[in-house]
Amino acid sequence: MSELAVVGGGVIGLSVAWRAAGRGHSVTVYDPTPGRGASWLAGGMLAPVTEAWPGEEDVLSLGEESLRRWPAFARELAEEGFDPGLSEKGTLVVGLDRADVEHLEILAGYLTSLGREVEVLTGREARRLEPGVGGSVRSGLSVPGDLAVDNRKLLVSLRKAAEQRGVQFVTETIVDVESVDADVVVIAAGAWSGRLHPALAGGVRPLKGEILRLRPRRGCLPPPERTVRAVVEGRPIYLVPRADGELVLGATQYEAGFDETVAARGVRELLEGAERVFPSIAEYELVEMAAGLRAASVDNLPFIGDLGDGVLAATGHHRNGLLLAPVTADAIVALLAGSELPPHAEAAHPRRLPSLKSTERV
């Protein structure tokens, strides 16, 4: 069994650490602020289907593989005493204007062609499912198979479960991976991973997202039961309810380097979009505004696998890091056991990184 160092204690690093410790590896997680990063801010959707788009089949199939693993992943954590707050209520996608309706029709057709379960709804049927949905909603798409998780409960659960399995935490920023004393180092530093390895420097970039948290005040209509998504004037928004009554409203997406400040425009766009979809949100208490950095890659796939010299990548999870945590952790554990990357994770191999591609033998 190896001495494993995991650099980064977001959902990916914690999942890898927890799973690897369960296989008998001696694991240390390095992170100045474990359990924070993008993972702390995320919406919590585990939604490969409603995130899917034609041309991204590899992203969809990796996501579907991970989604299948989620119930067992959550159950294992719960059995160890740490409930991650998994919701199985599904997603309702709604369309407002003609362009949105067309977008939904394309999405429905694409998903049906892939054999996924979807139900196309009229505006009235969408309101029957979620009574708070606004009168301007013209169509809907019910996707019962999508899940959601309370990301903050999940992070606390993973950390405690990892500690219970003997994982050590060092609150340190790693500057040079080569200086880390371990048999294997896993780079799981999210948007900051590019600073830790030259190959990742060209492959992972930060992609900013603002996100809000709200609560119904007295007399307000309660939050929706399931995740509600929409594209409002070309901008995607989502509402993800939490069991404790909180409603997460996300998220903007734009290039701004490592800037994590909240811009007024982002907040305005999210609230304006949400009001069109779920009007009573205007009366809710705004309890948190935040901005996080997704670790984006050019093809929207993560990098999972060998970078050479005892360094493994588990990064670049873009919009889907919570969704992809189980499949990533299992793939890393398989590599640690000396196996190949599982076939469903092949598309995520780091060999497609420009600098590794050019050195690959023909």
Ligand X SMILES: Cc1cc2nc3c(=O)[nH]c(=O)nc-3n(C[C@H](O)[C@H](O)[C@H](O)COP(=O)(O)OP(=O)(O)OC[C@H]3O[C@@H](n4cnc5c(N)ncnc54)[C@H](O)[C@@H]3O)c2cc1C
Q: ω before 108 within 30° of 0 (cis)? A: no
Give min distance, CB of 40 to ligand X, in A: 7
Q: Which of 28, 39, 50, 87 binds ligand X (CB under 6 A)?
A: 39
How far is the C-alpha of 157 from the C-alpha of 113, rounded, in Å?
Answer: 37
Q: Residues 6, 21, 45, 104: which binds ligand X (CB under 6 A)?
A: 45
Say if strands 205-215 and 247-250 run parallel, antiparallel, or are unpaired.
antiparallel
In whole angstroms, what is the distance from residue 304 CA to residue 313 CA? 5
If binding is defined by CB under 6 A, does position 9 make contact with ligand X?
yes
Q: Which stretch binds ligand X (CB under 6 A): 36-44, 65-73, 101-109, 268-276?
A: 36-44
203 Cβ contact partners less than 8 Å away, ≥ 6 residues apart: 194, 297, 298, 303, 316, 350, 353, 354
Segment contacting ligand X by CB under 6 A, of 38-46, 92-100, 212-220, 347-355:
38-46
Q: Which is nearer to ligand X, 132 or 321 (CB)?
A: 321
Q: Give the residue carrying structure tokens 């949400």.
A: 274
Tell the residue number behind the tokens 């600098």, with chain if given. 355
Q: Is residue 326 part of the contact set for ligand X (CB under 6 A)?
A: no
Phi, psi of 155 (to 5 degrees): -65, -40
Contact present, 222 and 181 (Cβ < 8 Å): no
Q: Is 41 in the site for ligand X (CB under 6 A)?
A: yes
Window 87-126: contact mask with ligand X (x via CB under 6 A) = ----------------------------------------
Determine, following the binding rule CB under 6 A, whether residue 190 of this chain makes contact with ligand X. Answer: yes
Of 31-39, 88-96, 276-284, 333-341, the segment contacting ligand X by CB under 6 A is: 31-39
> Which CB, 22 or 37, lies closer to ligand X?
37
Say whether residue 242 binds ligand X (CB under 6 A). Answer: no
115 burial via Cβ count (<10 Å: 0-12, 13-18, 19+): exposed
Our CB check for ligand X shows the closer of 126 and 239 to be: 239
3-state secondary structure of 276: helix
List of residues contacting ligand X (CB under 6 A): 7-13, 30-34, 36-39, 41-45, 173-174, 188-192, 196, 209, 211, 250-251, 292, 294-295, 315, 317-323
